Amino acid sequence: MAEAPLIAHVIYRLDYGGLENGLVNLINRMPRERFRHAIVCLAGYSAFRERIARDDVEVVSVDKRPGKDLAAYGRVWRQLRRLRPAIVHTRNLGTVDLQWVAMAAGVRYRVHGEHGWDASDPKGESARGLRIRRLCRPATERYVAVSKDIAHWLRDRVGVPEPRIRQIYNGVDGDRFSPMGSLPPDWPWPTEGPERPLVLGTVGRLDPIKNQIGLLQAFAQLVRAPGAHVAPLRLAIVGAGPEEGRLREAAHALGIAPHVWFAGARADAPALLRGFDIFVLPSLNEGISNTILEAMASARAVVAARVGGNGELIEDGVSGTLYDSEDADALVAAIRRYLDERALREAHGAAARERCIAQFSMEAMVRGYSDLYDRLLARN
């Protein structure tokens, strides 16, 4: 029996993050008999690698040095020549130029995914970024956009012909992310009685584009002027990243440090989300947010900035609340409304789970990628 075709996923680094989480979910959910997988990392991997449930997935790093490291291209070429994948799938600006390396290595089918932008280019308008992507168009056969917003950007700004773009939403595991179940054993606050606080929470890489600093500032306002509710307020910030030191300093400067829990990078997001009363995502931009989907599946009321694909996930005023990302007062007002109106946040949380299970399942995501790969290979 012939081996299943190998997909080589080329990413910058395998670490805690939405893109990486989506990749691992995809690999874990695809049937072994359909596709094999390997991950080639430019700059290493962390313990996040342990979330890969399959034992047949090779993860390698070419250990790219910071800055320009032209020799890294040769190391990627050698890995691809060794692996001989049927398809190479790169993701985001950090690896798009490796489409040319894949072509040089003799890989016939090449896919590039766009999952969103970073803090230095939150709207994908950098002249350098657009130039690099346009230069890589001839080497790239198919593009994956995780939102309609990104699909339109690929067409209108990068100049990719529409037939070469496939839009596939991220998916969420509605059984794992559920309102039913226990909280983490190290949950820091009372869970019942008059001392039980109302908990705001966010999950994501601690990075400027995620704008956790804006959430801290909003939380400080809410602590100083709590509104109609009588319960104490607490904030959980889940994730790790380069902003952690700055965020901790800001919490102290704002006088809210005793009320904020920096939980770090965690593997128990479903349990953590159950402890949140309101999930907040104040990002400056997003592709399709895995953490919004996970919060929706957990039946949490969601407050999110109206950026990127967030409006494709949340039906504003029905399954969550969207606000203009540059309007700090609107963020405070949206959170305050949920704090003051328990029935509203519970109704929006229930509607969010219903919408998530119906439209953003893990099964639909896996079908989308499987169909894309199958269609490419059928041209052989």
Contact in structure between 302 and 203 (CB atoms under 8 Å): no
pLDDT at 120 over 90: no
What the block records as the tokens of 123 is 């709207």
pLDDT at 5 over 70: yes
Domains delineated in the chain: 6-171+361-377 (3.40.50.2000), 198-359 (3.40.50.2000)
What ranges make up the beta strands (E) of the chain? 6-11, 36-41, 58-61, 87-91, 109-114, 142-145, 165-167, 198-203, 233-238, 260-264, 278-281, 301-305, 321-323
Reduce the secondary structure of 359-371 to three states and give it as a string. HCEHHHHHHHHHH
pLDDT tens track for 311-335: 999 999 999 999 999 999 999 999 9
The model carries a pTM of 0.86
Residue 226: what pLDDT?
A: 77
Q: Which residue has the tokens 């037939």?
A: 163
Residue 107: what pLDDT?
A: 98
CB neighbours of 164 closer than 8 A, spacing ≥ 6? 140, 141, 142, 143
Give the mean pLDDT of the chain: 95
Residue 227: what pLDDT?
A: 76
Confidence of residue 1 (pLDDT cuts 50, 70, 90): low
Residue 220: what pLDDT?
A: 97
Determine which of 8-12, 63-67, 298-302 has the lowest per-residue pLDDT on average: 63-67
Contact in structure between 372 and 142 (CB atoms under 8 Å): yes
pLDDT tens track for 244-274: 999 999 999 999 999 999 999 998 999 999 9
Confidence of residue 380 (pLDDT cuts 50, 70, 90): low
Q: Tell me the C-alpha distance between 296 and 351, whole Å.
A: 8
Confidence of residue 367 (pLDDT cuts 50, 70, 90): very high
pLDDT at 139 over 80: yes
What the block records as the tokens of 93 is 């600006």
Q: Name which residue leads in pLDDT, 75 or 267.
A: 75
pLDDT tens track for 283-296: 998 988 999 999 99
pLDDT tens track for 150-186: 999 999 999 999 999 999 999 999 999 999 999 999 9
Confidence of residue 133 (pLDDT cuts 50, 70, 90): very high
Average pLDDT of the residues in 195-210: 95
Average pLDDT of the residues in 63-70: 93
